Amino acid sequence: MGQALDQGMQIDRWIQYILRPYLILIFILTALGSWQAFLTHSRWHMGDWLINYQGGFIRRGLLGEVLYQLSVYSSVSLGFYVFICLIFFNALFLLFSFLLLKRQPFLSPYILLIFSPFIFAFPINSVDHFESIGGYFKDCIYYCVLAFIGWSAVRYQEKTFEKIYYFTLLCYPLLILTHEVFAVFLPYLVVVYLTKVKLDRKRVLLNLSLLSLSIISFVLCIVFKGNDIQVTAIYNSLLTRYPVPINGSIGWLGAPMKIAMERVLIQIQSNSYFKIYGFILLFSSIAFLPVMQQLKFIFKNKISLFLCLVALIGTLALCCIAIDWGRFIRFNLVSLFILSLVGGALMPRKNEEIQSSHRFHSYRIYSLFYIGIFLFTLSYAFLWRIPSCCNYRPPISDFATNNLIWAYQTYKKIIYEIVSSF
């Protein structure tokens, strides 16, 4: 009996042993990818961060305007500021996720999520086809904020957490002015709050008041969506600072909604979007099966379940007007991952005797399938990916054509360019 338990516990020990170096590796490779975006003046990735107010108020322009003004009053390249933002927000997301994982009584239920291609490894998948991946947009800001709120809920007492949460809600309209898509996933932050705090009349009114500010910001983004004159002004403002090619994230601001929807229809017809992303949703759900108890604890509140539904409906709306279905799916997957970590840390524990019995039962099963679990985890981590958009390569392949192994030559080239520049 003791031997079986010891064998089962080796799964947790293995995860604990490899987790820190794994996340450090992810950070290094993400930093290299960020440097690649900086060196190539990526029209999609860098362009997304460089949208500013030089042509007037426009959606997604707040952070870009701040970075632009920093560049004006300093001798630092505008693109380098974007590089710093990329590694900063990605580092914080990894850090707070790591701290949440350390708070879990058992790590084995999270093994597929940790090593999946859609949580931490998403930015490094398919780096060989750089402009088609979605790991270097502003999305990392949202992941950082949600992971921080989740960690705060676990780390602090209720009163301290409430102060942090309310301050975050107060600042969230600024994030929406940085990218309006953040408004769609704001409900997940409220779900974390509801898991930690019990609502009363005062708290309801305070939440509604603060959330109304985010709604106003979102409406402003819809009204001031951008036009060709503003797009030209933004491009011109970057010419002497950090020029990026046209027809990327900046150029797309002026595109009519009709063209955006037609582009989605083309992808559905020519790239089998329903089939590909339907498979991806099915395959992604496998990783969440071991953490269903944690998610049930989160969504036992009907309001939380409703808020999750709101975010999912918002995701469907996004998929009707933009082709980045992989990015939108990842928003929800990462959000559910963070929520499961919050649930795992806040769930009430059974007494020691019952807990020990549960541990033995679980680990006895794991001990019988130890090798199978290892091989399945390896396959799950390396044999498929979530394309951000435009399926230039099938989402499921083999070890030679996916993820880290496939990207080896690209990273080798990036490292060579960095070294040769000194």
Structure confidence by residue, pLDDT tens digits, 348-359: 876 443 344 444
Q: What is the pLDDT of residue 205?
A: 98
For residue 122, the enclosing domain spans 2-420
List the single range of 44-58, 344-358, 373-387 with lowest mean pLDDT. 344-358
What count of Cα atoms within 13 Å lies in the side-chain half-sphere of residue 317? 10
CA 208, 211, 212, 213 torsion-angle sign: positive
3-state secondary structure the chain: CHHHHHHHHHHHHHHHHHHHHHHHHHHHHHHHHHHHHHHHCCCCHHHHHHCCCECECCCCCHHHHHHHHHHHCCCCCHHHHHHHHHHHHHHHHHHHHHHHHHCCCCCHHHHHHHCCCCCCCHHHCCHHHHHHCCCCCCHHHHHHHHHHHHHHHHHCCHHHHHHHHHHHHHHHHHHHHHCHHHHCCHHHHHHHHHHHCCCCHHHHHHHHHHHHHHHHHHHHHHHCCCCHHHHHHHHHHHCCCCCCCCCCCCHHHHCCHHHHHHHHHHHHHHCCHHHHHHHHHHHHHHCCHHHHHHHHHHCCCHHHHHHHHHHHHHHHHHHHHCCCHHHHHHHHHHHHHHHHHHHHHHCCCCCHHHHHHHHHHHHHHHHHCHHHHHHHHHHHHHCECCCCCCCCCCCECCHHHCHHHHCHHHHHHHHHHHHHCC
Averaged pLDDT for residues 241-264? 92
Q: Which is nearest to 44 in space by CA: 245, 180, 240?
A: 245
Q: What is the pLDDT of residue 345?
A: 96
Q: Residue 383 — pLDDT band, cuts 50, 70, 90?
A: confident
177 touches 62 (CB < 8 A)? yes
CA–chain centroid gap for 370, Å, is 30
Q: Residue 161 pLDDT more than 60?
A: yes
pTM over 0.75: yes
Q: How many structural domains is the chain composed of?
A: 1
**pLDDT reported for residue 133:** 64
Q: Which amino acid is at 329?
A: I
**pLDDT tens digits along 93-146:** 999 999 999 999 989 999 999 999 999 999 887 565 555 566 789 999 999 999
Quote the mean pLDDT of the chain.
88
Average pLDDT estimate for 357-381: 66
Question: To 5 degrees, how large is the angle CA 125–CA 130–CA 131?
Answer: 120
Cα(216)–Cα(377) distance, integer angstroms: 44
* pLDDT tops 90 at residue 47: yes
In this prediction, residue 339 carries a pLDDT of: 98
Closest listed residue to residue 147, CA positions, set 100, 183, 88, 211: 100
